[in-house]
């Protein structure tokens, strides 16, 4: 194998970190609050974004998810099955303890197995063996060639072998274990009220310009906007789509906007013959029609994606036909958003033997994605129009994800039909394919968020072949082929890609990110 070496470069984060350290405070209004301060507890966007303030990773991602050095200064394969990582020297944790290779080994062991995790990091760690070579060198070994090593590694937070690896989630939440090497130190976590961090003046990188940052969870869009306009917060994420045009004309407000890697989609119960929230007309039992391809196709055809984008999302979204938008590695050029065809949908239902329809409940969060409850309501109305009488039930994400992942018998997914979103943490197509599409396999780390329990051996084989294919062009083709097979089989129903908008007070600006993270280091002075 030809040797590829990733050397130190100029951190793209430097553009985000600003100038010299000053005593300045920042208050950020969050649309969706982290569910925990434990960086390994839940592979969820708000959690991952918050962890970036306190903790580091071996490899970081810039605002476009390009890989840049973090706690590792260089990385490269030394043979077909082994990658070597050289670690940054002279780094200390917030409690003064030194960073070294022991922290990497224990972090990779802890990340996939945190108790009660709604969605674990096992998709990025399983199948990898971390070996300590010396204090500042590790090897990561895999049973097959694994070209996406650096992408996977960039998703795993590093915690201290002294204070973090044996700690409980509760210990992170109370701050006793929330000790990282990141640009900010933990101060306090009051769920529902605030998260406070302060600048780490001993940070190995360039110190942030903000001496103290307070994150305020403000679930309601109008409440966030009012807080910004009143000066109670300096910047907000998740600007209400209905207010973007108005804010663009306000000279006292700075807007930032960018397409994200997040697809909003529907997962369906592919597994159970008796699905708990699927009923015959009148509420009786029915053999789960969601397991029939024609029914899944009908549901997708019944959804007017243009109406969702134009009316529900106020034009601030892009309708989706697959797992990632154009421009990301491994997407297909053969897939397009499914066209709206209610009559065709009715014909497919008749073909599937359920021409008279059935009853269904769609479950979703009401405080996680942009306009999530409104999207669920719109879909419920669209399905009802073709004869699938659909009830809508939404709830806070702190309740929703637990029930969606393991609220059923024996920790199985509880719901039958759900609205959810996925952002590709690794910045390419294997991320959603491994987590959402591959057969659920906890030991192997596959299907961690496959809440519909979709399972097709041929799709699994393509995903696994892609993960072991070193040639970039061949791997991209395999990922695209796996995506095509899954989407044509309606493994999930893509709806749209989010376009995210941040608003800051005059004099500040946010560097929009494809991963949707709201980072204090991304708030710069204009």
Same domain, 397 and 519: no
Q: Determine, yes or no, domain membership for 127.
A: yes
Q: Which of 408, 523, 521 is nearest to 54 (CA)?
A: 521
Residue 245's domain comprises: 14-252+506-525
Tell me the C-alpha distance between 424 and 144, whole Å. 23
Residues in the chain: 526
Same domain, 229 and 278: no
Q: Which of 86, 91, 79 is nearest to 133 (CA)?
A: 86
Same domain, 156 and 85: yes
Same domain, 238 and 289: no
Tell me the C-alpha distance between 522 and 63, whole Å. 9
Same domain, 87 and 202: yes
| Burial per residue of 139-157, b for 16 or more beta-carbon CB atoms within 10 angstroms, e otherwise | bbebeeebbbbbbbbbbbb
Same domain, 289 and 213: no
Q: CATH number for the domain including 191? A: 3.40.190.10
DSSP 340: P
Q: Parallel, antiparallel, or unpaired: how do β-strands 317-319 and 492-505 relate?
A: antiparallel
Number of domains, the chain: 2
Q: CATH number for the domain including 386? A: 3.10.105.10
Same domain, 240 and 320: no
Same domain, 299 and 242: no
Same domain, 492 and 511: no
Q: Determine, yes or no, domain membership for 218.
A: yes
Q: Determine, yes or no, domain membership for 1.
A: no
Angle at 117 between CA 115 and CA 119, to 5 degrees: 150
Q: Determine, yes or no, domain membership for 3.
A: no
For 84, phi then psi, to 5°, come to -105, 135
Q: Determine, yes or no, domain membership for 485.
A: yes
* Token duo for residue 201: 């003046």
pTM: 0.81
H helices of 241-292, where? 244-248
Contact in structure between 360 and 389 (CB atoms under 8 Å): yes
Same domain, 302 and 324: yes
Q: How far is CA 399 from the centre of its chain?
A: 17
Q: What is the pLDDT along the chain (526 residues), one digit of tens a residue?
A: 333 333 333 233 333 333 344 569 999 999 999 999 999 999 999 999 999 999 999 999 999 889 999 999 999 999 999 999 999 999 999 999 999 999 999 999 999 999 999 888 998 998 999 999 999 999 999 999 999 999 999 999 999 999 999 999 999 999 999 999 999 999 999 999 999 999 999 999 988 999 999 999 999 999 999 999 999 999 999 999 999 999 999 999 999 999 999 999 999 999 999 999 999 999 999 999 999 999 999 999 999 999 999 999 999 999 999 999 998 999 999 999 999 999 999 999 999 999 999 999 999 999 999 999 999 999 999 999 999 999 999 999 889 999 999 999 999 999 999 999 998 878 899 999 999 999 999 888 899 999 999 999 999 999 999 999 989 999 999 999 999 999 999 999 999 999 999 999 999 999 999 999 999 999 999 8
Q: Determine, yes or no, domain membership for 5.
A: no
Same domain, 226 and 300: no
Same domain, 338 and 204: no
Q: Determine, yes or no, domain membership for 402.
A: yes
Q: Determine, yes or no, domain membership for 9.
A: no
Residue 72 β-bridge partners: 87
- Beta strand spans in 105-193 (E): 129-134, 137-141, 157-158, 184-190
């Amino acid at each position: 194998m030809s040797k590829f070496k990733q050397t130190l470069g100029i951190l793209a984060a430097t553009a985000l970190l600003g100038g010299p350290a000053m005593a300045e405070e920042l208050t950020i209004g969050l649309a969706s609050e982290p569910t925990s301060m434990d960086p390994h507890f839940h592979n969820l966007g708000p959690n991952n974004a918050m962890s970036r303030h306190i903790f580091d990773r071996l490899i970081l991602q810039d605002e476009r998810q390009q890989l840049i050095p973090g706690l590792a200064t260089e990385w490269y394969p030394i043979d077909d099955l082994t990658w070597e990582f050289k670690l940054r020297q002279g780094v200390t944790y917030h409690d003064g303890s030194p960073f070294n290779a022991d922290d990497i080994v224990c972090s990779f062991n802890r990340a996939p197995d945190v108790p009660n995790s709604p969605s674990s990091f096992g998709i990025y760690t399983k199948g990898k063996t971390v070996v300590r070579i010396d204090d500042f060198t590790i090897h990561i070994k895999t049973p097959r060639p694994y070209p996406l090593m650096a992408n996977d590694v960039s998703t795993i937070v590093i915690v201290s072998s002294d204070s973090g690896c044996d700690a409980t989630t509760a210990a992170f939440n109370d701050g006793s274990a929330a000790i990282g090497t990141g640009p900010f130190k933990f101060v306090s976590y009051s769920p529902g009220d605030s998260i406070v961090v302060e600048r780490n003046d001993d940070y190995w990188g360039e110190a942030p310009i903000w001496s103290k940052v307070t994150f305020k969870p403000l679930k309601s869009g109008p409440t966030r906007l009012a807080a910004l306009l009143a000066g109670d917060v300096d910047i907000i994420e998740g600007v209400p789509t209905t207010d973007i045009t108005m804010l663009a004309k306000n000279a006292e407000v700075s807007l930032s906007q960018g397409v994200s890697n997040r697809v909003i989609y529907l997962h369906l119960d592919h597994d159970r013959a008796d699905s708990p929230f699927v009923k015959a007309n009148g509420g009786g039992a029915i053999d789960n029609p969601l397991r029939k391809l024609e029914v899944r196709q009908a549901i997708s055809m019944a959804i007017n994606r243009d109406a969702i984008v134009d009316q529900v999302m106020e034009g601030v979204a892009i309708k989706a036909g697959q797992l990632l938008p154009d421009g990301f590695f491994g997407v297909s050029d053969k897939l397009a958003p499914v066209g709206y065809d209610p009559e065709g949908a009715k014909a497919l239902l008749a073909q599937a033997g359920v021409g008279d329809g059935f009853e269904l409940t769609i479950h979703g969060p009401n405080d996680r994605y942009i306009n999530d409850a409104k999207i669920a309501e719109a879909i419920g109305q669209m399905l009802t129009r073709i004869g699938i009488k659909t009830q809508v039930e939404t709830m806070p994400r702190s309740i929703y994800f637990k029930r969606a992942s393991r609220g059923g018998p024996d920790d199985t997914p509880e719901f039958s039909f759900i609205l959810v979103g996925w952002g590709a943490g690794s910045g390419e197509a294997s991320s959603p394919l491994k987590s959402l599409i591959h057969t659920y396999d906890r030991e192997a780390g596959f299907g961690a968020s496959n809440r519909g329990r979709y399972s097709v051996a041929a799709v699994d084989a393509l995903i696994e072949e892609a993960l072991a294919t070193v040639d970039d062009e061949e791997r991209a083709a395999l990922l695209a082929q796996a995506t095509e097979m899954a989407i044509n089989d309606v493994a999930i129903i893509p709806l749209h890609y989010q376009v995210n908008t941040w608003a800051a007070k005059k004099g500040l600006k946010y560097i929009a990110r494809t991963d949707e993270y709201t980072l204090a280091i991304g708030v710069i002075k204009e």
